[in-house]
Amino acid sequence: MSDAAPRDVPLPLPPGWLAKDVTWSRRLADKGKRRAWRWPAWLLARSGDSVFWLALSALALWQGQAMGWRLLWAMVTTAVIVFIVKGIFKRQRPSGHGRDFGADKYAFPSGHAARVEAIEGGTLAACGTPPAGAITRSAPIYVNDEVAALLTLSDVETRFDIFTMIALEQGAAALALELAKRETIAAVRAGVQGDFLTALLNGQPGHVLAARARAAEFPTDEIHQVITAQCGSAAELWAGRATGLAERAGWAVRAAVSPDGQATLVLSGSTAQEWTQSTFLEQLRADWAEDEPLTIAAGDPAFGLAGLQKSLEEARGALALGTRLFGTGGTYVHREMGVYRLLRHLQGTGDLKEFLERTLGALEAYDREHQAELLPTLNVLLAQGGNVSATAKAMHLHRNSVIYRVERIREISGLDPTQAEEAFTLRLALLLAPLG
């Protein structure tokens, strides 16, 4: 006994296809019953028969026309393809009065339809083929003193005269003028859009940015979002890939790349396809396979020019803060930066440096000189809620060793990590230390 499936088991087709097939077949069958439709339907059905096209091919070959070989080749090719596909799907022909016809018992794909498509394609291809004995004449189309294309005419030699050549040259000149005009318009538009991006990135005042936006036809009344990336010499490459991905998601994109290798994308569009920011950022990273490390940051989506400026500030802040806190190669989103996004304005300020020096400076100096690991112990102690036993277990130390280190922290810093208020001061200092 063989477990092989029966040979005539059809390959399953999507239900939607079958439903549409049944619907249209029923409509055509109903129309075919009407007397006015009967003969046109019969002629239309017979027009796809292979006998008709074989006769047409033979007539063309008898008259010495190359079209006959094209028709014959199309028929043979489609017959082979249809035979193979029918053997794969094995879809039975419908039964009933007037339906048991055909050279084989399978109905899909339709040999009639396949022949019609092949012959149409061959006919269209033949339209671009010069007639027998024709010659061609070409005139170059110049753009910026370089040949951008050729305008070519094909005809029998007796029809080429001086007026034809003049028309050919004038046509090439007209096309060159049109191409040059389009290039100029594109260059001007790109320059105006570049001015807008430059004004945005340089932090120009709102009225200046609004004027540049109007000149660049920038949509101010839509949702905007800024994404920045640091990827060194590969910034141009990343910007191009990211632009394509964002456009496929439905956004209008404007991109700029700075000399230091930072790319900035401005996404605009209130009718973009449904998407999530995290998924989109994952796609931007997944598409990257270059050697340069890729660090991505994003601001929050916002409305209008003011919102765009805010999103740019958020993206830049997230990029700088994330890189400083966690290093390069990560993805940093402004709203996911937690408490750091509230404190990022303190970064590098004199007040912050003074606060860190007063709370942690002496401990850092002591650790550098004695390798005492007081700051790591303080970190773990605060994370464990001041519990000495839990700290000792987490650090694989004896409890007395932790008690000794806590005493040293209290003596050197002047702050007691076991007291709630002073523990909060030390925790805040540890949190802000990366920003100093």
**E strand spans, 131-261:** 134-143, 146-156, 223-230, 252-257
CATH number, domain with residue 355: 1.10.10.2840
Residue 33 lies in a domain: yes
| Tally of structural domains, the chain | 4
> Do 334 and 227 lie in a common domain?
yes
Comparing 38-47, 161-170, 257-266, 311-320, the range with the smallest average pLDDT is: 38-47
Q: Which of the 8 DSSP states describes residue 291?
A: S
- Whether the pTM exceeds 0.85: the reply is no
Q: Are residues 334 and 234 both part of a single domain?
A: yes
**233 and 202 in a common domain:** no
Residue 22, token pair as written in the block: 């049944």
Q: pLDDT by residue (tens digit) across 392-422? A: 999 998 999 989 999 999 999 899 998 888 8
Q: What is the DSSP string of 338-378?
A: TTHHHHGGGTT-HHHHHHHIIIIIHHHHHHHHH---HHHHH
The number of residues making up the chain comes to 436
| Token pair listed for 339 | 């408490």
Domain that holds residue 263: 220-338
Residue 98, pLDDT above cutoff 80: no
| Whether residue 406 sits in one domain with residue 389 | yes
Are the C-beta atoms of 295 and 230 separated by less than 8 Å? yes
pLDDT at 250: 81
User: Are 19 and 104 in the same domain?
Assistant: yes
Sign of the Cα pseudo-torsion (382, 383, 384, 385, in order): positive
Check whether residue 211 and residue 224 sit in a common domain.
no
> What average pLDDT does the chain have?
78
Is residue 30 in a domain? yes
Decide: 255 and 266 in contact? Cβ < 8 Å: yes
CATH of the domain at 261: 3.30.70.120
Same domain, 320 and 370: no
Which pLDDT value is given to residue 115?
A: 63
Tell how many helices (H) and how many strands (E) occur in the chain. Answer: 17, 8
Query: Which of 218, 243, 258 is a domain's end point?
Result: 218
Q: Are residues 213 and 224 in the same domain?
A: no
pLDDT band at residue 261 using 50, 70 and 90 as cut-offs:
confident
Strands 262-268 and 223-230: antiparallel
List CB contacts of 299: < 8 A, sequence separation 6 or more: 225, 226, 227, 310, 311, 312, 313, 314, 315, 318, 334
Assess whether 51 and 101 both reside in one domain: yes
CB 418 within 8 A of CB 409: no
Looking at residues 187-191, what average pLDDT do you find?
A: 70
Statement: residue 10 has pLDDT above 50: no
Q: What is the DSSP letter of 92?
A: B
353 and 431 part of one domain = yes
Lowest mean pLDDT segment, chosen from 81-85, 146-150, 263-267: 81-85
The last residue of a domain, from among 218, 252, 280: 218
Instruction: Give the end of a domain, one of 187, 218, 249.
Output: 218
Averaged over 111-116, what is the pLDDT?
63
Q: Is the dihedral of CA 242, 245, 247, 249 positive or negative?
A: negative
